[in-house]
Amino acid sequence: MTSRLKLPVIAPLTDGFARRISYLRISLTDRCNYRCTYCMPEEGMVFRPRADLLTFEEIERLLTIFAGLGVRRVRLTGGEPTVRADILELVSRLAAIDKIERVVMTSNGHRFPELAGPLARAGLAEVNISLDTLDAERFRKLTRRGDLTRVIEGIDAALAAGLTVKLNAVALKGENDHEIATLCQFAWNRGITPRFIEHMPMSDGQLYSVQQQLSASEIRGVVASHFGCELVPDSDGDTTLGPSRYWRLDGPASGAKPGRRLGIISAMSEHFCDTCNRLRLSAVGELHTCLAYDDATSLRDILRAGGSDDDVRRSIVDAVAGKREGHQFQLTGDGAPMKHMIAIGG
Ligand code: SAM
Ligand code: SF4
């Protein structure tokens, strides 16, 4: 990583490297109806007691403060956000907050057959649904309990409800690497953009193996060779909306079909720390300025100690001032964060 001059904090929610923070991911729960192998261990997972979770009032108050500091987009995640009771009420409360332009969600899609319409009516604008494989048996194995048919129904229900939908697949050698083209085609047939996520070594590296790592260039190679095309960058130069870099199929074999586009979240091999615009709030109210480190500031403790909005604001600005220049995920897993992905929400 190139070293850049650390600047003083010049405005609220601009960090010491001049990155403007406008995006907040809020984990609503560390619980989930699935048990994905790369996200949580099979045994020994300790879930936080419900009393530790932020209440709706606390989430609403914190998001209002973040909005005042420049956050415009919020992503609800988990665990699985749709297992949080009264999720519809929460979405409508958050969507009504002044200056919050877009409330979006990342979900495994399992509850979307029933919830897609009500969520859209409550103010949800967009959902990223995780789908790593189209093979029902492999899906069951990867999620340890998932139901592929329901998730596909959930994707179709989200589209029918008018939500913007993207698909997320963690790319894993020896698991779903041979399905990358099929997943692209599945998404494109529905007018959806597929996105592939490089496997990240959370959980102290215990759920990660470097042999399974499929890099962004390998993913591009698989797609280009399958479809007989070139992949050309298609992010419109806009790297502020999220970590995904977009690529478009180009060349005669692409048939000039519009929408043949994919995203790659290349946190490991082509990291995007220079343009990181995000913060993460865990289900228990801890503010993480980077996914790759375990240290955090408890905003919930400030609220529950009777702190004022100004106290919270100061803590947020201080935390942002200390946001590190970049992650240090090690490809071997050494130095990886101890926390499980399920506890922070991706
Ligand atoms: N339950 C929801 C879901 O599955 O979409 C939201 C939470 S999940 C933690 C958010 C995203 O993180 C999912 O797309 C999941 O595939 C991804 N993820 C989980 N563990 C990961 C890992 N070790 N490396 C990369 N992505 C991971
Ligand atoms: Fe649950 Fe999502 Fe983690 Fe799978 S990736 S265990 S669905 S939180």
Centre of ligand 2 to C-alpha 27, Å, is 12
Within a domain: 268: yes
Atom nearest to 345 CA in ligand 2 = 8
* Inter-residue contact 148 to 130 (CB < 8 Å): no
Centre of ligand 1 to C-alpha 79, Å, is 9
Q: Which of 249, 263, 297, 278 is nearest to 345 (CA)?
A: 278
Dihedral, 180, 186, 192, 194 alpha carbons, nearest 10:
-10
Within a domain: 183: yes
**Tens digits of per-residue pLDDT, 43-74?**
889 999 999 999 999 999 999 999 999 999 99
Confidence at residue 139, expressed as pLDDT on a 0 to 100 scale: 98
- E strands of the chain, at which residues? 23-27, 73-77, 102-107, 124-130, 164-171, 193-198, 230-233, 245-250, 261-265, 278-281, 286-288, 297-298
Distance of alpha carbon 220 from alpha carbon 188, whole angstroms? 16
Which residue has its alpha carbon closest to ligand 1 atom 8?
345
Atom nearest to 169 CA in ligand 1 = 16
Centre of ligand 2 to C-alpha 155, Å, is 16
CB distance 40 to ligand 2 below 6 Å? yes
Confidence at residue 1, expressed as pLDDT on a 0 to 100 scale: 45
* Inter-residue contact 28 to 82 (CB < 8 Å): no
Confidence at residue 331, expressed as pLDDT on a 0 to 100 scale: 57
Which amino acid is present at 270?
Answer: E
Q: Which residues' Cβ are closer than 6 Å to ligand 1?
A: 32, 38-39, 77-78, 80, 106-108, 130, 168, 170, 197, 199-200, 202, 341-342, 345-346
Give how far the C-alpha of residue 120 lies from the chain's centroid of Cα atoms, to the nearest Å.
19
Parent domain of 58: 23-344
Within a domain: 318: yes
Q: Which of 22, 145, 26, 48 is nearest to 339 (CA)?
A: 48
* Inter-residue contact 290 to 325 (CB < 8 Å): no
Residue 247 sits in a domain whose CATH number is: 3.20.20.70
User: What number of H helices and E strands is found in the chain?
Assistant: 9, 12
CB distance 342 to ligand 2 below 6 Å? yes
CB distance 36 to ligand 2 below 6 Å? yes
> Which ligand lies nearest to the CA atom of residue 107 in the structure?
1
> What secondary structure does DSSP assign to 130-157, as a single string?
E---S-HHHHHHHHSS--HHHHHHHHHH
Within a domain: 75: yes
Within a domain: 2: no
Within a domain: 12: no
Centre of ligand 2 to C-alpha 117, Å, is 22
Q: Which residues of the chain have pLDDT under 70?
A: 1-11, 236-241, 252-259, 330-335
Within a domain: 9: no
Which residue has its alpha carbon closest to ligand 1 atom 9?
345
Atom nearest to 107 CA in ligand 2 = 2
Distance of alpha carbon 285 from alpha carbon 203, whole angstroms? 20
Confidence at residue 241, expressed as pLDDT on a 0 to 100 scale: 57
Look at residue 183 and give its three-state secondary structure.
Answer: helix
223 token code pair = 């797609």
Q: Provide the domain count of the chain.
A: 1
Within a domain: 76: yes
Q: Which of 292, 226, 286, 291 is nearest to 262 (CA)?
A: 226
Angle (deg, nearest 10), helices 87-95 and 56-68: 20
Q: Are strands 124-130 and 73-77 parallel, antiparallel or unpaired?
A: unpaired
Q: Which of 95, 106, 105 is nearest to 72 (CA)?
A: 95
Confidence at residue 258, expressed as pLDDT on a 0 to 100 scale: 61
Centre of ligand 2 to C-alpha 309, Å, is 33
Distance of alpha carbon 250 from alpha carbon 274, whole angstroms? 28
Of the residues 106, 126, 265, which should be mutated to test ligand 1's pocket, given the most ligand atoms within 8 Å of the CB?
106
> Which ligand lies nearest to the CA atom of residue 145 in the structure?
2
* Inter-residue contact 65 to 316 (CB < 8 Å): yes
Rg of the chain over Cα atoms, rounded to whole angstroms, equals 20
Distance of alpha carbon 201 from alpha carbon 203, whole angstroms? 7
The sheet carrying 297-298 orders its strands as 230-233, 245-250, 261-265, 193-198, 164-171, 124-130, 102-107, 73-77, 23-27, 278-281, 286-288, 297-298
Centre of ligand 2 to C-alpha 62, Å, is 25
